[in-house]
Amino acid sequence: MCSVMLYLYKSVMPYLARSKRMLFFFLMALLFELSFEYFTSLSIKYLIDDAITPRNMTVFIVLLLALLIGGILNLVVGVGGDYLMSKLNETILLGLRKDLYDKTQKLSAHFYSKYRVGDIVGRFTIDIPAVEHANLQSLSILIVSALSTVVGTILLFTFDWKLSLIAVVGIAAMFLPQKLLNKKAHHYNEEYLEVVEKFSNNMNEEMKTYKIIRGFRLQESMKRRFEKQLRTWFALGVKKSFIHSNLERLPIMVLSVVNASILGVGGYFTFQGTMTVGELLAFYSVFDTLGLAVISIMEVAPDLIEGEVSMKRINEVLELPSDMEEDEDAEKSGGMKKQIAFEEVTFGYSEAAPVIRDMSLTIPAGSYVALVGNSGSGKSTLIQLLMRFYDPQRGTIRIDDHDLRDVRLSELFKRTGVIFQEPYLFHATVRDNLLIGNPDASEEETVAAARAVEAHEAILQLPEGYDTWIENDGANLSVHLRNRISIARTLLRANELTFLDEVAASLDPESEASLNSALIQAHKGKTVIAASHRPKTVSQADLIYFIEKGQIVEEGSHVELMALQGAYYELWNKQQGFHLSQDGEASIDPVRLKQLPFFSYMDNTLLNEISGFLATEQIRTGHYVFRQGETGNKMYIIARGKMEVSKLNEEGIAQVVAVLQDGDHFGEIALLMDAPRNADLKALTDCTLLSLTRKQLLPLLDRNEEMKARLYRSLIERS
Ligand SMILES: Nc1ncnc2c1ncn2[C@@H]1O[C@H](COP(=O)(O)OP(=O)(O)OP(=O)(O)O)[C@@H](O)[C@H]1O
C-alpha cells in the first residue's frame, strides 16, 4: 500500500506543488478533524469518571461546551477542507489532461502508428477518472487514517498495555487480506483496462467501417467478436469487483472479532477493578475510531490500486520521448526565401527497411514541383518528412540554410496548406471547416474559395447551406463535395507553401483537372509541392521528380522527361488511351489495348471488336473484385483507381504483394481456362474497371486457331 501511495504521490506532486498554500491549509484542516475525533473519544472517560459518576455539574457543562464549540469548528473546517480538496483535485486533473494533450501534439507519426485511437482516448476517459477517484479524497482518507492509527495506538497504551496488545495484534490482522490479495487485484485491474481499451478500439473501427461490414454482410461475425469481448469483459469485471469486495469486507470481519475480544477482556478487567468503566468505554471508543480508520484504509485500497494502474498508463505516454518537440531556441524563420533541399536523406518506418534512400533534391521557392511515381515509391513519405511528421534517419532536410530540425516550424508553417489523399473533415459546420485554416476570412472570400473549386452550388443544396453540420468524417456529404471542401479550405489560407498529396485522385478526370487548375491558378508564384501517380495531373509543374523505390530516377519538366523516353514516359503512356465519360462509362482505344501483352498478337479488326465488348464496372473503396481461390471467367483493366493485390501466406494471413493502378490489368488467365484466382483484389480507392468475359472472347478466337494457340502458349509461359 505504501508503494502505491508513494507512486501516486510522486506522480501528482508536480501539480500539487503549484498550489502550495492551498495544500498547507488542506493538511491543517485534516489535522484539525483528526484531533477533534480523538478529543471526542477521550472526553468519554472524563464525562463518566470526572462528571457523571461524581455528579460534578461544572465539569459536565465545561466538557459539553467544549464538545459543542469543537463540533461547530470541526464542521466549518471540514467544509473548508472539502472545498480545498475539490480545488486541489481538479488542479491535478487539469494538469494531467493538459500535459497528456500537449504530449500527443509533440509525438511523431510513429506514435500514432503504434497507438490506436481507443488507447489515447482511454487515457482521458478511463485512466484520468480512475486517478481522480484515487486522488486526494482517497489520499486524504489514507493520511487521516494512517495518522489516526498511530495516534490511536499511542493513546490506547496510556489506558492499558495488555488490552492494547490485543488491539495491535487485531489491527495487524486486518491488513492481512490486503497483503494476500494485493497482487491479484493489480493484475485484474490491468487486464480489465486492456479489455476496455481493446473494446473501444474495435467499436471505433466498426463505426468507421460500417459500410464495408454491411456490404460484406459481416454483421454476424462482428456480433460474435463483440459478444466474445463482452464475455471477457464480464468475467474480468466479476473477478475485479469480487476481489475489491473482499478487500473491503474481510478486514471488517476481523474487526468484529477484535471488538468482541476487547469487550470481553476489558469487561473482565473492570470486574477485577484494574480498569474503571469510564476507561473501558474511552478505550473502546478510541479503538473504534482506530478500527474505523483501518477500515477506511481498506476501503480506499481498491481505488488506490486502480489509480496506480491508471497513473502508470498515463505516465507511459507522458514519458515517451517528445521526438517532434520544437527547440525553444529554434531559429525563427520568416518563411522560405530560397529553397528546400534534401541532402542524402534516408528514412524508413523501421530502421531495417528504408523507404527513402540517399535522396537529394531541391525545391526552389516559388516553384511548382511534382513528385511522380508508382504507388509505394515513397511520394507521401517525402511529403511527411517535409512536414516534419518524421525525422530522417540519415541526411538533412534544409529550409534555406537551416536544418528543418532547428527551425521553429510553427513560424515557418504559419502560411502552409496541405491537402491529403483523404479529405479529413471536422465534426462542425461546412463554414467552420472552410475557415479552419483562416478564421478571419470574410464571407466573400469563403464563397469565392468554394466557387473556385465548384463547390458553392452543391453547398447551397445542403439542408442548411454553409451552416450544415458535417457528420462523422463527412458521411452526409458526397465524396466529391468532401474533396472540394478540403481543397477550398486550403485555398482560403493564402498559402506561401502548399503540399498536395494525390489531390482528388478519386474524382473523375474532368473534376480532377478543374480542381487542379483552380489550385495551381490560386498558387501562382508560390511554392507548391504535389505528389501524384498520374503524370497528366502534374504535367504543368516547373520541375518533376520521378521516384522509384525511394530514389529519384529522373528529373526535369514534362517535355524534358517525355523526351527522355524513360520511366516517366512509360508511366505516361500506360495511362493514355482511356476515356471516361461524365456518367462514369469507360472505354479504351484499340491501339492502347494492343500494348497489353495478352492482346499484342491480335489484329486491329479483332481489337476493335474486343474494345466494343469491354464493360465498365465501378468498384467502391474497400470492396473486392474477387477473392483468392474463386474460379474466374473475366479479365480486368484499371481505367482509373488503385487496387491492392494480396495473397494468403502459409499461416493463412493475407499479405500485400502489389498495388495496381491506372493502366494495369489482371486476371487474364480466366479468359482461356477455369483456374482459381491466385490472390485477393481489393479497391484502395473508388475504381473504374473495364472487364472482358471468356464467353465474349472465345467465339472471336475460334476464328483464328493459330492465334488462339499462341495466346495459350504465352499465357502458360507467363503464369
Ligand atoms: N505508416 C507507415 N508504416 C509503415 N510503412 C509505411 C507507412 N506508410 C507508408 N509505408 C510504406 O512505405 C512505402 C512508401 O509509401 P508511400 O505512401 O510514401 O508511397 P506513395 O508513393 O505515396 O504511394 P501511394 O500513392 O500508394 O500512397 C510503401 O511500401 C508503404 O507500404
Q: Which residue lies with its CA nearest to atom 7 of ligand 1?
A: 349
Q: Which residue lies with its CA nearest to atom 24 of ligand 1?
A: 375
Is the CB of 160 inside a 6 Å radius of any atom of ligand 1? no
381 CA to centre of ligand 1 in angstroms: 6
Concatenate the DSSP letters of all residues of 487-520 into one string: HHHHHTT--SEEEEESTTTTS-HHHHHHHHHHHH
Q: Which residue lies with its CA nearest to atom 10 of ligand 1?
A: 349
- Beta-strand runs (E) in 478-602: 497-501, 527-532, 543-548, 551-556, 578-580, 586-588
pLDDT at 513: 74
502 CA to centre of ligand 1 in angstroms: 13
379 CA to centre of ligand 1 in angstroms: 8
Indicate whether 332 belongs to any domain.
no
pLDDT at 33: 85
Q: For residue 321, what are the contacts with CB-CB under 8 A and spacing of at least 6?
A: none
| DSSP for residue 330 | P
Q: Pick from 107, 112, 372, 380 the residue to mutate for probing ligand 1's pocket: most ligand atoms within 8 Å of its CB.
A: 380
pLDDT at 506: 64
Task: Select from 563, 510, 505, 566 the least CA-distant residue to 530.
Answer: 505
Is the CB of 474 inside a 6 Å radius of any atom of ligand 1? no
Same domain, 532 and 642: no
Count structural domains, the chain: 3
Indicate whether 323 belongs to any domain.
no
What SS3 class is residue 659?
strand
Indicate whether 366 belongs to any domain.
yes
Out of 574, 595, 612, a domain closes at 574
638 CA to centre of ligand 1 in angstroms: 21
Indicate whether 21 belongs to any domain.
yes
For the CA of 374, the closest atom of ligand 1 is 21
pLDDT at 326: 63
Q: Pick from 110, 355, 371 the residue to mutate for probing ligand 1's pocket: most ligand atoms within 8 Å of its CB.
A: 355
Same domain, 371 and 516: yes
The set of cell numbers assigned to 601 is 498478337
376 CA to centre of ligand 1 in angstroms: 5
For the CA of 684, the closest atom of ligand 1 is 26
Same domain, 584 and 558: no
Compute φ and ψ for 425, nearest 5 degrees: -120, 150
377 CA to centre of ligand 1 in angstroms: 7
Indicate whether 491 belongs to any domain.
yes
Same domain, 343 and 284: no
Q: Pick from 379, 529, 546 the residue to mutate for probing ligand 1's pocket: most ligand atoms within 8 Å of its CB.
A: 379
Q: What CATH number does the domain containing 520 carry? A: 3.40.50.300
343 CA to centre of ligand 1 in angstroms: 21
Q: Which residue lies with its CA nearest to atom 3 of ligand 1?
A: 349
Is the CB of 375 inside a 6 Å radius of any atom of ligand 1? yes
Query: Within 582-685, where are the H helices?
Result: 590-594, 604-613
Same domain, 547 and 587: no
**Separation of alpha carbons 619 and 61, rounded Å:** 92
Q: Pick from 349, 383, 421, 687 the residue to mutate for probing ligand 1's pocket: most ligand atoms within 8 Å of its CB.
A: 349
Structural domain that includes position 292:
2-318
Q: Which residue lies with its CA nearest to atom 13 of ligand 1?
A: 376
Q: Which residue lies with its CA nearest to atom 1 of ligand 1?
A: 113
Is the CB of 355 inside a 6 Å radius of any atom of ligand 1? yes
Same domain, 661 and 549: no
Same domain, 349 and 225: no
Indicate whether 262 belongs to any domain.
yes
Type of residue at 82? D
Between strands 416-419 and 497-501, the pairing is parallel
Out of 574, 601, 624, a domain closes at 574
Compute φ and ψ for 524, nearest 5 degrees: -55, 130
**Separation of alpha carbons 159 and 153, rounded Å:** 10
Q: Which residue lies with its CA nearest to atom 4 of ligand 1?
A: 349
600 CA to centre of ligand 1 in angstroms: 33
pLDDT at 87: 87
Is the CB of 113 inside a 6 Å radius of any atom of ligand 1? yes
Q: Which residue lies with its CA nearest to atom 9 of ligand 1?
A: 381
Is the CB of 105 inside a 6 Å radius of any atom of ligand 1? no
Task: Select from 151, 186, 166 the least CA-distant residue to 293.
Answer: 151
Q: What CATH number does the domain containing 614 carry? A: 2.60.120.10
pLDDT at 303: 79
Is the CB of 103 inside a 6 Å radius of any atom of ligand 1? no
Tell me which long-range contacts 220-229 makes (C-beta under 8 A, separation of at least 24).
226/202, 229/195, 229/198, 229/199, 229/202
Indicate whether 186 belongs to any domain.
yes
pLDDT at 335: 63
Same domain, 43 and 178: yes
Measured in residues, the chain has a length of 719
Are 401 and 422 in contact, with CB atoms under 8 Å apart? no
Indicate yes or no: pTM above 0.80. no
Is the CB of 379 inside a 6 Å radius of any atom of ligand 1? yes
Q: For residue 314, what are the contacts with CB-CB under 8 A and spacing of at least 6?
A: 11, 96, 100, 123, 127, 128, 131
Are 534 and 373 in contact, with CB atoms under 8 Å apart? no
Type of residue at 703? R
Indicate whether 287 belongs to any domain.
yes
pLDDT at 260: 87
Same domain, 570 and 599: no
Q: Pick from 110, 377, 538, 549 the residue to mutate for probing ligand 1's pocket: most ligand atoms within 8 Å of its CB.
A: 377
pLDDT at 568: 96
Are 528 and 491 in contact, with CB atoms under 8 Å apart? no
262 CA to centre of ligand 1 in angstroms: 74
Reported ipTM: the value is 0.97
**Separation of alpha carbons 361 and 321, rounded Å:** 30
Q: Which residue lies with its CA nearest to atom 25 of ligand 1?
A: 375
pLDDT at 137: 65
Same domain, 286 and 368: no
Out of 574, 590, 606, a domain closes at 574
pLDDT at 571: 93
**Separation of alpha carbons 503 and 371, rounded Å:** 13
Same domain, 155 and 297: yes
591 CA to centre of ligand 1 in angstroms: 33
Q: Which residue lies with its CA nearest to atom 31 of ligand 1?
A: 376
* Average pLDDT of adjacent 10-residue blocks, the chain of 719 residues: 73 84 88 84 81 85 89 91 86 88 78 73 82 71 76 81 86 83 84 83 74 66 82 88 84 85 88 84 83 78 81 87 64 70 92 90 92 91 88 90 79 76 82 86 91 89 91 77 87 82 72 76 83 89 94 95 94 90 85 86 85 90 88 91 88 84 88 84 90 87 77 71
Q: What CATH number does the domain containing 224 carry? A: 1.20.1560.10
Same domain, 560 and 584: no
The set of cell numbers assigned to 455 is 463547390
